Copies of this chain bind each other. A is one copy, B any other.
């Protein structure tokens, strides 16, 4: 990246929005995973789709790799610029463009932070349900098809994307989708770009479908004598036909860490957190009674429950900061986070396998149980080769088990760098089709290189 190059970039986005400073490059060299840091050559902050288009066109002409950047909260190295080049940081494109209350829709720029969006939408009685926990941007969530605790009822990001503005690898700008609630018009490019981790183009704007804030909540925390009592309960509740708006599992070790970190006094047993939302209190009470019955049949030790937002917040307080509490408990260690998902009927088997597999490691099990998604945070030292090999071997064995159970190597964190080695195993010949699409849209392999494909 010589002086002339930088001058050209400055002509596009303005002097102060191009940086080659060490601290800036370092900030854009890693996400929240353990994957090795790689510094980009330059970081740029565009303010419009047109600027993104010109930047990408410039990169295309100069054969410079381009990596789009949201908030850097990914967990599989998804935005690490492994081939250097240009990082396009979209955080300056953070405007909520229009809220259409009656249509339950919002237009946003890609750099809007998810939590800021929902704070604003709350004033309109609306929300955007996919809840990845981290302070992700909408662009990052779309790139990753992000999901979270409410996906069990509301679905992942994919189901909320109505329109996208995308800058293709050659700099062309396309507009995909429309504002109707449904359409059968042509190939589903919305879903192709959603979850492509920025390897097919850069999403700069989106129209999102929204959901009305639920009238009422009911929340329930139940503890169990064993992990399998808890995971069997998950399957039985889910296969009853009830649709919880959240269904989370926390293993005893996780509760222990939370108690210590946040000065709580919760029972340190395998725990389920559930939420139901709906229109009427009567309806929720009937569902709660049914769920309590299932918990009791599975030897539940304790059931704490409540109706309304305050009770819900009390019971759920512990969930969102799980990852932070675990990290704080092990200063100096780095996390590897497993993220497999399996059919619900295999969830108990999967969790039992995982628990056995990580029994010699500093490991914490929790997850979006209602989606068959289990996370394990393993805290260790990537620098200690022998130990880290063992951690990665455990991850590998867990992934292979999930695939054997007809599940997926990643429920929600994406393939990024960390899951590339499993792509062929999971997708077989279908991976060839993905490759052909990638080569067609990005013939020089410049868009977020080194991700998804082995």
Contact = CB atoms under 8 A, between A and B. Distances in A.
Contacts of A159: 155, 159
Contacts of A213: 241
Given A212-B241, A440-B436, A410 B174 contact: no
A429 B172 contact: yes
A172, A283, A284, A286 pick with most chain B CB within 10 angstroms: A283
A171 to B, nearest CB: 12
Contact of A433 (B103, B168, B211): B168
A195 interface: yes
A180 B342 contact: yes
Given A173-B429, A181-B341, A181-B344, A415 B188 contact: no
A66 B172 CA distance: 33
Contacts of A23: none
Contacts of A343: 100, 103, 105, 179-181
A181 B371 contact: yes
A362 interface: no
Interface in A154-204: 155-156, 158-159, 168, 172-176, 178-189, 191-192, 194-196, 200
Contacts of A287: 279-280
A91 interface: no
A335 B38 CA distance: 62
Interface residues of A, number: 97
A239 B426 CA distance: 41
Contacts of A239: 101-104
A235 interface: yes
Contacts of A182: 147, 151, 156, 341, 371-373, 408, 411-412
A183 B341 contact: yes
A282 interface: yes
Contact of A344 (B102, B146, B200): B102
Interface string A125-156: 10000000000000000001111000110011
A437 interface: yes
A372 B180 contact: yes
A192 B188 contact: yes
B283 A280 contact: yes
Contacts of A432: 174
A329 interface: no
A143 to B, nearest CB: 10
Contacts of A307: none
Interface in A422-450: 423, 426-434, 436-441
A146 to B, nearest CB: 8
A426 B185 contact: yes
A409 interface: yes
Contacts of A181: 152, 341, 343-344, 371-373
Contacts of A431: 186
Interface string A42-71: 000000000000000000000000000000
Contacts of A278: 278, 283
B174 A409 contact: no
Nearest to A188: B191
B102 A180 contact: no
Given A241-B125, A345-B102, A187 B179 contact: no
A282 B283 contact: yes
Given A105-B343, A179-B343, A280-B287, 9 more contacts: A100-B345, A102-B235, A180-B371, A180-B411, A181-B373, A188-B188, A188-B192, A280-B282, A436-B440
Name the 8 nearest CB pairs between A and B, nearest first: A212-B241, A283-B283, A191-B191, A282-B282, A180-B341, A183-B408, A179-B406, A102-B239
Interface of A: 100-105, 125, 144-147, 151-152, 155-156, 158-159, 168, 172-176, 178-189, 191-192, 194-196, 200, 211-213, 215, 235, 238-242, 278-280, 282-284, 286-287, 341-345, 371-373, 402-403, 406-415, 419, 423, 426-434, 436-441, 452
22 contacts: A102-B239, A103-B239, A103-B345, A125-B241, A144-B184, A151-B182, A158-B188, A173-B429, A174-B430, A180-B371, A180-B406, A182-B412, A184-B408, A184-B414, A185-B415, A187-B192, A187-B200, A211-B241, A279-B283, A280-B282, A280-B283, A283-B283
